[in-house]
Chain A
Amino acid sequence: MSVTELRPRTPAETRLIQLAEAQGENENARRPAIEALRREGLPTRKVEAWHYTDLRQLMGKRLGSDDAVEALRESGETLLEPLLQGSAVVDLDAPEAAHLPNGVTGSASAGEADWKTTPNRLDRSIDTVRAMNAAFGAASATIDVAAGTHLDHALELRPATGLKSHAFTTVTIGEKAEATIVERLDGGTTGAPSTGVNMLHVGAGANVLWIVDQEKGLDSSHLGQLSVRLEADSVFRLFVLNAGGGFVRYEVHTDVVGEGADVQIRGVNLLHAGQHVDVTTTLNHTVAHTTATETFRNVVTGGHGVFQGIIKVARGAQKTDAKMACNSLLLSDEGDFSAKPELEIFADDVQCGHGATAGEIDADHLFYLMSRGIPGDQARALLIKAFVAEVVEELEVEAIEDALETRIEAWLEANIR
C-alpha cells in the first residue's frame, strides 16, 4: 500500500499530467518531475503557500480543451514592440539567436530545469511552480552580463507565446555590472497554462532593475517565479505590473547573502472581474546590514487578488532594515484582495515592519478635486492613477516610468467606467 496514493486525483490533476506528457521532447528530463506531480498532486489550501490560491480549482478550469492537448504546436504570434525603446529582445526558446550588446551572452543551456530546491519555504516538499515548469519541459536559457558591464538599454526576455510557453532562465549579473531586464509576459490566448522560472544572480556591487510586465489574455493562466541571490553591496530593484491574465501566480524569493545589499520591490496589480492574481514573496536576510523595501498597490474593480509576503531575518542578520506594505483600492463589492504580510525575525537588533490597508477612494480628496471643477468620473480616475503612480515614480527613471504609466493608463481607460 502506498501512502502517496491515498488522496484521489482530481480531474484537474489528471489533465495536468496528460498535458505535461503531451508536451513531447526531452522526455527523460521531464519524467521525474511528472512523476513527482503524479505522486504529490496539486497543493491543497492546507499548504500555507497556497492558502489563498486553490490551484486544484483554478488550474482545473484552465488546462485547455482536449484540442489543446492534441494540437500542441507553436503558433506564430504578432511581434510586440519592446516595453522600453532600444531594448535587445531575447526569445527565451532561442536565446543564442538574439542580437545582444557587448558584454552579454545568451545560450540555450543543455541542463534540465532545476526543480529540486524549494525557495518558497511555505510550499510542500516539492516546489509546485518549479515542478510544473520542469514537467512541462521548460526551455533552459542562460544569460550572462559580464562583470563591469553597464548596459545602456534593457534586455527584454520573451517566453515563447504559443501553446508551449515554459521557460527556465538563469541570469547572472557580474560584479559591478548594471542592467535593466524586462520579463515580458504577453499573449497567451490558447487556454493552456504557461510557466516561467527565473534564477537571477546579482554579483557584488552590481545593480539590477527587473521589470515584470504581465498583460496576458483573460483566458490564460501563468505560474511564474523569480529567485534572486544578492551578493555584497548589490542592489536589486523589481517592478511587477500585473495588468492581465485569467489566473496568475507570481512568486519572488530573494536571498540576501552579502552585507550592504539592498532590495527594492514595487508592484501594481490591476484587477477586474474574472481574474485571480496572486503575488507571493519571501525576503530572506541571512547576513547583517542589509535593507529591503517592498510596496504593492492594488486596484480592484472585480476578481480576486492575493498578496502573501514574508520577511525572514536570520539570527546573525543584525541591523536588517526591511519594510513591506500592501495597499488596495477596492472600487467594487464584486472584487476582493487578501493580503497576508508576515515577519519572522530571529535577530534582536533590526528594524522591520509591515502594513496592509484596503479602502475606497478618499471622499475628501474627491471633493477637493471636484470643488475645482473636475467632474466626478475624471476626478476618480485621477485619484486612482495617483494611487499607483506613487510607486511607479519611485523608479526615478523617466523613460521607464513613462512606459509603465502608458500601460497602466491603457488599463484604467479600458476598465474604469
Chain B
Amino acid sequence: MLEIKNLHARVADEGTEILRGVDLTVNDGEIAAIMGPNGSGKSTLSYILAGREDYEVTEGDILYNGESILEMEPDERAASGLFLAFQYPLEIPGVATMTFLKTALNAQRKARDEDELTTPEFMRRVKAAAGDLKINPEMLKRPLNVGFSGGEKKRAEILQMALLEPKLCVMDETDSGLDIDALKIVADGVNALRSPERSFLVITHYQRLLDYIVPDTVHVLSNGRIVKTGDKDLALQLEREGYSQIIEEAA
C-alpha cells in the first residue's frame, strides 16, 4: 500500500529540516501506529503524505501502490484513496458542511469516472454515517467545523473519512480531545472500516486508543526518523518507560 523510502523534508520557505530519512512500509490491510515525542515530525509526515505545499521533499520517495505520489496535487491524492484526519481540523466559515461533503464526494467520484451521487442517496449516506458516529445532524447544518467543540471536530473528521471511503487513512492524533465514550465510538467507526484492502496509519500519544484499534505494527518517530519498530507490545513498553530509553538505545 504505502512505502516511504529515505524521506527527507524541510520547511519550504525557511529550510529547517524536519524529516531526516524516514523509512516506513504499510501493507494492505495493515494498521500501523506511529508514536513519538512532541515535535518529532509526525504531523509533518502526515501533511507531506497529503501533499501540503509548505514542505519540500529533498530526498527519498513516497510510493503509493507502487507509484510515486510526490508530483500529485492534494486533490489527486485524495481521489486515489488517501485521507488525512487532521490533528487540528480547520474551521471554514461560509462553507456549509453539507455542501462541502457533497462537493468533495462528487469531485472524487468524478475523478474516478464514477457517476455523481443523487441528493437523496447522498443524504441517506450522511445520515447513516452521522448516526453511527453519534453526530447530531443539527451540527451538519452549520458552516464547516465552525463552532464545533474539539471532540466534535475530531468526530466530523471521521465522518468525512467514513463517507469518502479512502484506501489509506492517516489519522493524526484523532484521539486527543475525545471523551472516553467518543473514543470508543470513533474506534468502532474505524474498526468497521477495517478491510484487507484498507490500511491505516494511526498517529497517537496514547496507548489507550490502541486498546481499541489494535495495531499490527508500532513505529517510534524521533527527530525525523523511525528509530524503532515493533508490534503492539512496543506501545505498552513506551507507556511504561517513556521515550528516552528507546531513543537512547537507537542512537
Q: Which residues of B contact A368 (CB under 8 A)?
A: 86, 89-90, 92
In the complex, A369→B160 CA distance in Å?
A: 12
**A369 close to B100 (CB less than 8 A):** yes
Asked whether A367 and B53 contact (CB < 8 A) given A374-B75, A375-B75, the answer is yes
Q: Which residues of B contact A385 (CB under 8 A)?
A: 94
In the complex, A388→B95 CA distance in Å?
A: 10
Q: Is B169 an interface residue (CB 8 A)?
A: no
**A386 close to B78 (CB less than 8 A):** no
Q: Is B103 an interface residue (CB 8 A)?
A: yes
- CB < 8 Å: which of A370, A378, A387 contacts B78? A370
**A367 close to B52 (CB less than 8 A):** yes
- CB-contacts of B96-136 with A (<8 A): 99-100, 103-105, 107-108, 111
What residue in chain B is nearest A370 (Cβ atoms)? B74
Q: Is B2 an interface residue (CB 8 A)?
A: no
Interface string of A343-383 (1 = CB under 8 A from B): 00000000000000000000111011111111110110011
Q: How far is the CB of A412 from chain B (nearest CB, A)?
A: 13
Top 9 A-B pairs, shortest CB-CB distance: A386-B94, A373-B78, A373-B108, A372-B104, A370-B74, A390-B94, A386-B95, A370-B75, A389-B94
- CB < 8 Å: which of A364, A374, A387 contacts B94? A387
Q: How far is the CB of A401 from chain B (nearest CB, A)?
A: 12
- CB-contacts of B31-80 with A (<8 A): 50-54, 73-75, 77-79
Q: Which residues of B contact A389 (CB under 8 A)?
A: 94
In the complex, A393→B146 CA distance in Å?
A: 15
Q: Which residues of B contact A371 (CB under 8 A)?
A: 50-52, 74-75, 77-78, 83-84
Q: Is B137 an interface residue (CB 8 A)?
A: no
What residue in chain B is nearest A387 (Cβ atoms)? B94
In the complex, A179→B107 CA distance in Å?
A: 42
In the complex, A371→B94 CA distance in Å?
A: 18
Q: List 11 A-B contacts (CB under 8 A).
A: A363-B53, A369-B104, A370-B51, A371-B84, A372-B78, A372-B107, A372-B160, A375-B111, A382-B95, A382-B99, A386-B143
Q: How far is the CB of B59 from chain A (nearest CB, A)?
A: 23
What residue in chain A is nearest B47 (Cβ atoms)? A367
Q: Which residues of A contact B92 (CB under 8 A)?
A: 365, 368-369, 383, 386
- CB < 8 Å: which of A363, A370, A372, A378 contacts B73? A370
**A364 close to B111 (CB less than 8 A):** no
In the complex, A200→B128 CA distance in Å?
A: 52
Q: Is B93 an interface residue (CB 8 A)?
A: yes
Q: Is B218 an interface residue (CB 8 A)?
A: no
In the complex, A34→B80 CA distance in Å?
A: 69
Q: How far is the CB of A327 from chain B (nearest CB, A)?
A: 11
Known: A372-B108, A372-B164, A382-B100. 8 other contacts (CB 8 A): A372-B78, A373-B79, A373-B104, A373-B105, A373-B108, A373-B164, A383-B92, A386-B94
Interface size on A, as a range, is 20 to 34
In the complex, A370→B95 CA distance in Å?
A: 14
In the complex, A56→B129 CA distance in Å?
A: 62
Q: How far is the CB of B74 from chain A (nearest CB, A)?
A: 4
Interface residues of A (CB under 8 A from B): 363-365, 367-376, 378-379, 382-383, 385-390, 393
Most buried by A among B74, B86, B90: B74
In the complex, A388→B94 CA distance in Å?
A: 8
In the complex, A370→B160 CA distance in Å?
A: 13
Asked whether A390 and B93 contact (CB < 8 A) given A369-B100, A371-B50, the answer is yes
**A373 close to B53 (CB less than 8 A):** no
Q: Which residues of B contact A365 (CB under 8 A)?
A: 90, 92
Most buried by B among A371, A375, A385, A393: A371
In the complex, A367→B108 CA distance in Å?
A: 15
What residue in chain B is nearest A392 (Cβ atoms)? B94
What residue in chain A is nearest B52 (Cβ atoms)? A367
Q: How far is the CB of B38 from chain A (nearest CB, A)?
A: 21
In the complex, A393→B164 CA distance in Å?
A: 28
What residue in chain B is nearest A379 (Cβ atoms)? B75
Q: How far is the CB of A128 from chain B (nearest CB, A)?
A: 36
**B90 close to A364 (CB less than 8 A):** yes
Q: How far is the CB of B121 from chain A (nearest CB, A)?
A: 18
Q: Which residues of A contact B95 (CB under 8 A)?
A: 369, 382-383, 386
Q: Which residues of A contact B99 (CB under 8 A)?
A: 382
Q: Which residues of B contact A388 (CB under 8 A)?
A: 94
What residue in chain A is nearest B166 (Cβ atoms)? A373
In the complex, A117→B107 CA distance in Å?
A: 57
**A378 close to B53 (CB less than 8 A):** no
Q: Which residues of A contact B160 (CB under 8 A)?
A: 372
In the complex, A388→B93 CA distance in Å?
A: 10
**A374 close to B53 (CB less than 8 A):** no
Q: Which residues of B contact A390 (CB under 8 A)?
A: 93-94
Q: Which residues of B contact A374 (CB under 8 A)?
A: 75, 103-104, 107
Q: Which residues of A contact B143 (CB under 8 A)?
A: 386
**A378 close to B103 (CB less than 8 A):** yes
Q: How far is the CB of B126 from chain A (nearest CB, A)?
A: 14
In the complex, A370→B78 CA distance in Å?
A: 8
Q: How far is the CB of A331 from chain B (nearest CB, A)?
A: 16
**A386 close to B93 (CB less than 8 A):** yes
In the complex, A114→B50 CA distance in Å?
A: 63
Q: How far is the CB of B174 from chain A (nearest CB, A)?
A: 15
**A382 close to B103 (CB less than 8 A):** yes
In the complex, A26→B131 CA distance in Å?
A: 71
Q: How far is the CB of A416 from chain B (nearest CB, A)?
A: 15
Q: Which residues of B contact A372 (CB under 8 A)?
A: 75, 78, 100, 104, 107-108, 160, 164
In the complex, A122→B87 CA distance in Å?
A: 51
In the complex, A63→B246 CA distance in Å?
A: 80
In the complex, A364→B92 CA distance in Å?
A: 10
Q: How far is the CB of B83 from chain A (nearest CB, A)?
A: 8
In the complex, A201→B184 CA distance in Å?
A: 61
In the complex, A365→B79 CA distance in Å?
A: 18
Q: Which residues of B contact A369 (CB under 8 A)?
A: 92, 95, 100, 104
In the complex, A387→B52 CA distance in Å?
A: 23
Q: Which residues of A contact B108 (CB under 8 A)?
A: 372-373
